[in-house]
Amino acid sequence: MTDQKSASTTVDGAVDSSTSSNFIRNKIADDIKQNKHGGRVHTRFPPEPNGYLHIGHAKSICLNFGVAAENSGLCNLRFDDTNPEKESQEYVDAIKDNISWLGFQWNGDVRYSSNYFEQLYAFAVQLIESGKAYVCDLSANEAREYRGSLTQPGRNSPHRDRSIEENRDLFERMRTGEFADGHCSLRAKIDMASPNINMRDPVLYRIRHIEHHQTGTQWCIYPTYDYTHCLSDAIEGITHSLCTLEFEDHRPLYDWILHTLEIASIAGASDLADTDSEYVLPEQTEFAKLKLNHTIVGKRKLKEMVETNVVTGWDDPRMPTLAGMRRRGFTAAALRNFCESVGVARSDSIVDLGMLEHAIRDDLDKNSPRAMCVLNPVTVVLTNLPDEHLQILSMANHPKVDEMGRRSVPLTKRVVIDRSDFEELPVQGFKRLIAGGEVRLRGAYVIKCIDVIKDDAGELVELHCSVDLDTLGKKPEGRKVKGVIHWVSEAKGIPLNVRLYDRLFTVENPESKDIEDIRECLNEDSLIEITSCIAEPSIMEEGASSSYQFEREGYYCLDEKESSENKLVFNRTITLRDSW
């Protein structure tokens, strides 16, 4: 019986919530039981460096690193960099940074598929020599015609039966740069009539006279994904090659390549070559991609949003990228918990954004220090306090976690409260401040509104309230005061700007095929900046946190990119749950 409840530990030491079984964990447990790879578990996370990582990648990262850690195994980071056209060093750097931030440490050095280009070339020669690959002069268009269709078999390329010598010569000349881009390609010789189109003599190498971010101008032929991925896995001694469902049809090709090559030569070229581990070929297993409603997770569209300035960049706090979510204030632990909570299965599914929000709130509630910040201030004059009154109140940083300590909050005669916490015509059940009514200033006294001052236009100017001096730290005598509102000293408070974020799209499925231009369903109010907020001074003290729960408002974090010495900008990470 396998243990269905366990906990995984990440490099930052945080223990994530309990895990439940899934088909991959079950398979690995089985493989271990059967001693399939000598009991080894070795996974890899293989991004192509052609964009920033997003929440969907987080699922794959958590799965690959998680499953390795749970089984005392290893997980490599490998850049699948076989198509230099779309790739760049900027993406490589950002991806490494994102993975570290998420809390995972890859095994050894960062790998690149391009590290193996020479070895891959040698394997290709081996395929040619065993008559399993040939150089084909068909153009891309011609090749498409020869490939047939979903319902019709393909036809053999006229170049399919070239001699081994000719193929060897041609392939070598491909490498030396004799031919122009697209002039010819190296193809596997499998079966043009296969019902699986991936097996209809797939291209192994194409010619691209283009510089590569890792190998420079060393190569002008580049191996394709299908040819490269299985061999890179094999070279690295990967045991479980986890990928998403759309690659399911590629698995027969993955296996064909590995089984058509001499296993001894693969083993000899692998990281396991000089160890006494028995060499076993990797196996591909597919799982469903993570999709989230109200969210775009397609790299192409995310890139488009950045390039058309729909957002300010890959790290715009509204973006579902790891960089964006980090800047928004989502924590790595919350994201890990979320990925665990959605599970790993094979059915196409769309997870409700509410699940992500729950994970964020859950983590932030436990770990964020509290502070008070008034978003839309209105002045309250505490009439029975002397003008120069200055009282330092001590308040807990967290209502349940004493270890988080306490802070000092100054109370003066003039304070501000949120405009929405005062109502002249309250609806049934309103329990904040009303004319003639009482409310508690959080952590301080109960006050009573005795006067509402308005200007000639009838706009509220300020409120005059009396303080019940006998209510500090105790309930008032003989009556119940239900409401508690947050406040900040007008003179001692710190001005700041706050950015409120909402979902980027108005529709539940912005990736729907019916939507031609995503700009049609953009939420106009996805970013609202408010400028006259006032926070208690403790947030600027030496050693202060950069993220808080602003009580009764939500979780906020300092935006270091937008803040300057004379302007503080906080991002609203997420609101508090509001069941009112």
Q: How many whole angstroms separate alpha carbon 446 and alpha carbon 428? A: 21
In this structure, are strands 406-412 and 185-188 parallel, antiparallel, or unpaired? unpaired
Residue 358 touches RNA, criterion: CB under 7 A: yes
Residue 281 touches RNA, criterion: CB under 7 A: no
| Helix orientation angle between 332-342 and 353-367, rounded to the nearest 10 degrees | 140
Residue 511 touches RNA, criterion: CB under 7 A: no
Query: Which of the residues 517 through 576 are near RNA (CB under 7 A)?
Result: 549, 551-552, 576
Query: Which of the residues 418 through 437 are near RNA (CB under 7 A)?
Result: 429-432
Output helix, strand, coil percentages for the chain, rounded to the nearest 5.
30, 25, 45
Residue 450 has a CB neighbour count (10 Å cut-off) of 13
Candidates 3, 165, 211, 249: give the one binding RNA (CB under 7 A).
249
Residue 155 touches RNA, criterion: CB under 7 A: no
Query: Which tokens in the block code for residue 109?
Result: 């050095």
SS (H, E, C) 305-329: HHHCCCCCCCCCCCCCEHHHHHHHC
Residue 246 touches RNA, criterion: CB under 7 A: yes
The answer to whether 487 and 409 are in contact (CB under 8 A) is no
Candidates 6, 9, 23, 93: give the one binding RNA (CB under 7 A).
23
Residue 6 touches RNA, criterion: CB under 7 A: no
In this structure, are strands 283-287 and 390-396 parallel, antiparallel, or unpaired? unpaired
Candidates 59, 327, 440, 499: give the one binding RNA (CB under 7 A).
440
Of the candidates 166, 133, 62, the one whose C-alpha atom is nearest the C-alpha of residue 104 is 62
SS (H, E, C) 325-378: HHHHCCCHHHHHHHHHHHCCCCCCCCECHHHHHHHHHHHHHHHCCEECEECCEE
- 216 bridge partner residues: 212
Residue 268 touches RNA, criterion: CB under 7 A: no
* Residues in CB range of 4: below 8 A, 6 or more apart: 20, 21
Cα–Cα separations (whole angstroms), residue 555 to 303, 430, 570: 28, 23, 10
Q: How many whole angstroms separate alpha carbon 33 and alpha carbon 433? A: 66
Query: Which of the residues 203 through 222 are near RNA (CB under 7 A)?
Result: 203, 206-207, 222
The answer to whether 101 and 326 are in contact (CB under 8 A) is yes
Residues 37-56, mask of contacts with RNA (x by CB under 7 A): ---------x-x--------
Shortest distance, position 554 Cβ to RNA, whole Å: 9
Which span sits near RNA by CB under 7 A: 93-101, 274-282, 470-478, 528-536? Answer: 470-478
Query: Which of the residues 50 through 89 are near RNA (CB under 7 A)?
Result: 80, 82-83, 86
User: CA quadruple 234, 240, 245, 251: dihedral positive or negative?
Assistant: positive
278 vs 402 by CB, closer to RNA: 402
Shortest distance, position 564 Cβ to RNA, whole Å: 29
Shortest distance, position 541 Cβ to RNA, whole Å: 20
226 vs 283 by CB, closer to RNA: 226
Candidates 108, 131, 158, 195: give the one binding RNA (CB under 7 A).
195
Shortest distance, position 147 Cβ to RNA, whole Å: 4
150 vs 425 by CB, closer to RNA: 150
Candidates 54, 162, 327, 370: give the one binding RNA (CB under 7 A).
370
Residue 471 touches RNA, criterion: CB under 7 A: yes
Query: Which tokens in the block code for residue 360?
Result: 């964020």
Which span sits near RNA by CB under 7 A: 58-66, 163-171, 392-400, 409-417? Answer: 392-400
In this structure, are strands 438-441 and 484-485 parallel, antiparallel, or unpaired? parallel
Candidates 342, 375, 409, 463: give the one binding RNA (CB under 7 A).
342
Candidates 96, 166, 225, 389: give the one binding RNA (CB under 7 A).
225
Candidates 210, 245, 273, 453: give the one binding RNA (CB under 7 A).
245
Query: Which of the residues 317 through 336 are near RNA (CB under 7 A)?
Result: none
101 vs 225 by CB, closer to RNA: 225
Q: Three-state SS for 152?
A: coil
Q: How many whole angstroms separate alpha carbon 63 and alpha carbon 340? A: 8
Residue 285 touches RNA, criterion: CB under 7 A: no
Query: Which of the residues 115 through 154 are near RNA (CB under 7 A)?
Result: 136, 138-140, 143-144, 147-151
The answer to whether 551 and 442 are in contact (CB under 8 A) is yes
Task: Count the residues of the shown chain that bind RNA, applying the rule CB under 7 A.
Answer: 93
Candidates 118, 129, 178, 248: give the one binding RNA (CB under 7 A).
248
Candidates 34, 72, 276, 354: give the one binding RNA (CB under 7 A).
354
Q: How many whole angstroms separate alpha carbon 229 and alpha carbon 250? A: 11
141 vs 309 by CB, closer to RNA: 141
Strands in 460-468's sheet, in edge-to-edge order, are 484-485, 438-441, 446-454, 460-468, 377-382, 414-418, 487-489
